[in-house]
Amino acid sequence: MTEKTIPVESSARHVHLTQQAVEKLFGPGAALTKKRALSQPGEFLSEQRVKLVTTAGEIGGVAVLGPPRRAVQVEISTTDACALGMSAPIRLSGNLSGAADVVLIGPAGAFEAPGSAIVAQAHVHMTPADARRLGVSDGQSLRARIGSVRAVTFENVIARVSETFALAMHIDFDEANACGLAPGDAGELMQNAECGMQKCPVDEKLITEEKAKSLVSQGKLVLRRGTIITPAARDVFTQAKTEIELI
């Protein structure tokens, strides 16, 4: 794939809440109040803020994003994790496997959120049309070069494809500071050198037939132990003679 230009956004520490958590933190019947829309359709920054607390530290004024979700998710940087004295794993949004524990504090009370804190893995949101234009598939591992004076090439940037997305690469503040990201900066997207006929890491809990079809061209796949591969997906891998390594 030839290098492509994509918009890049840095994500500050933030939390996603369930409606139950919203009411526990901000009072019975409370609802998130929209402050401004975010780049991803339907998502917004709310007026509400919370404090993150552990036995080792705390961070106040943390943004709450809406609308409410089915699970509480706390997204922080590695620097934040150090300040809180925790070891938060790098995960894609929605994957809370091994996530760290934290307590959220709001004006109306506290909410314990075990297994909720992660460091978000760098990723690129895109529509199916964007994916076709860029020549990538959902879940594919990519490389992206960002910056000029302090340019950094990010490895294992995951493509996330959906009709509900808008094209944007998301990195956290640690990553943004490393490459000197400025408002309006763009990145150059390219296939991950680890893919092709070499190893391609796949961070998925479930591999379906459709997902398998999108992965067979990536070479040897590296999956986490415990990843569920449906029978139909196994047939796809068998027919394509795809090598799979478990870590």
Domain boundary among 80, 103, 120: 120
pTM value > 0.85: no
Q: Is the pLDDT of residue 193 over 60?
A: no
Using an 8 Å Cβ cutoff, are 158 and 123 in contact? yes
d(CA 50, CA 111): 10
Q: Which residue has the higher pLDDT, 90 or 239?
A: 90
d(CA 61, CA 209): 43
Which structure tokens are listed for 105?
A: 């504090």
d(CA 61, CA 180): 24
Instruction: Identify whether 162 is part of a domain.
Output: no
Mean pLDDT over each residue of the chain, to the nearest integer: 90
Q: Is the pLDDT of residue 196 over 50?
A: no
Instruction: Identify whether 131 is part of a domain.
Output: no
Tell me: do 20 and 112 sit in the same domain. Answer: yes
pLDDT, tens digit, 9 for 90 and up, residues 227-239: 999 998 888 888 7
Among positive and negative, which fits the CA dihedral 186, 214, 231, 224? negative
Tell me: do 20 and 103 sit in the same domain. Answer: yes
**Which residue range forms the structural domain that includes residue 239?**
194-247
pLDDT at 105: 98
Winning range, highest mean pLDDT, from 113-117, 212-216, 234-238: 113-117
What distances in angstroms separate CA 151 from CA 55, 172, 188, one per listed residue? 37, 16, 11
DSSP state at residue 12: P
- Mean of the pLDDT values across residues 16-35? 98
d(CA 194, CA 115): 30
Domain boundary among 93, 120, 147: 120
Instruction: Identify whether 103 is part of a domain.
Output: yes
Tell me: do 109 and 204 sit in the same domain. Answer: no
DSSP state at residue 178: H
CA-wise closest residue to 15 among 74, 58, 68, 70: 74
Band of residue 8 on the pLDDT scale cut at 50, 70, 90: very high
Percent of the chain at pLDDT > 70 equals 94
Instruction: Identify whether 104 is part of a domain.
Output: yes
Percent of the chain at pLDDT > 90 equals 68
pLDDT, tens digit, 9 for 90 and up, residues 61-78: 999 999 999 999 999 999
Instruction: Identify whether 171 is part of a domain.
Output: no
Tell me: do 25 and 114 sit in the same domain. Answer: yes
Q: How many domains does the chain have?
A: 2
Tell me: do 116 and 17 sit in the same domain. Answer: yes
CA-wise closest residue to 165 among 136, 191, 195, 185: 136
Bridge partners of 90? 119
Using an 8 Å Cβ cutoff, are 69 and 20 in contact? no
Instruction: Identify whether 84 is part of a domain.
Output: yes
Instruction: Identify whether 88 is part of a domain.
Output: yes
d(CA 83, CA 51): 13
Using an 8 Å Cβ cutoff, are 223 and 207 in contact? yes
Domain boundary among 120, 148, 167: 120
CA-wise closest residue to 46 among 67, 61, 25: 67
